[in-house]
């Protein structure tokens, strides 16, 4: 076997070694959108994966302030802790409703006043 061919084989084997395998970038997963296979394109699938991951996660309940609110359907959320069902954004709970925000502020002010006494 010629020397130049042996050198080429050695260098190719060297590049495929574990040293170079570890430093390669990790492939970003598609999560639940892998079910589409090669259809619809990379960008669309990444956007959908981000939305699906967001709306399937548990969110903070605006009434009890615990991370137990789960999506029932588009815009309908249910808290398993305080058993409240409420309307919010389609994919996230978003900010607390104004009435809940004001009542929570009144309660915290009352607690602070009791602590001062």
Q: Are 45 and 33 in contact (CB under 8 A)?
A: yes
**How does pLDDT run along the chain (117 residues), one tens digit per residue?**
566 656 655 555 556 666 656 666 666 677 888 888 889 998 999 999 988 888 888 998 888 888 999 999 988 999 999 999 999 888 888 766 566 667 777 778 888 878 876
Residues 6+ apart with CB under 8 A from 87: 75, 76, 77
Among 72, 76, 71, residue whose Cα is nearest residue 59: 71
CATH class, range 34-116: mainly beta
Q: How do the domains of the chain map onto residue ranges?
A: 34-116
pLDDT at position 72: 92
φ/ψ of residue 43, rounded to 5: -65, -45
Dig out the tokens for 108 from the structure. Answer: 């915290």
| Its pTM surpasses 0.85 | no
* Element (DSSP H or E) covering residue 63: none
């Amino acid at each position: 076997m010629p020397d130049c061919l042996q050198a080429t084989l050695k260098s190719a084997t060297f590049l495929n070694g574990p040293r170079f395998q570890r430093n390669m970038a990790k492939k970003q997963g598609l999560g639940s959108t892998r079910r589409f296979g090669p259809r619809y394109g990379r960008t669309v699938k990444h956007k959908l994966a981000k939305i699906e991951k967001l709306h399937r996660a548990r969110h903070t309940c605006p009434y009890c302030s615990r991370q137990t609110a789960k999506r029932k359907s588009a815009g309908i959320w249910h808290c398993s802790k305080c058993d409240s069902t409420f309307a919010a954004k389609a994919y996230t709970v978003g900010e607390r409703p104004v009435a809940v925000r004001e009542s929570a502020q009144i309660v915290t002010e009352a607690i602070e006043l009791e602590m001062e006494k």
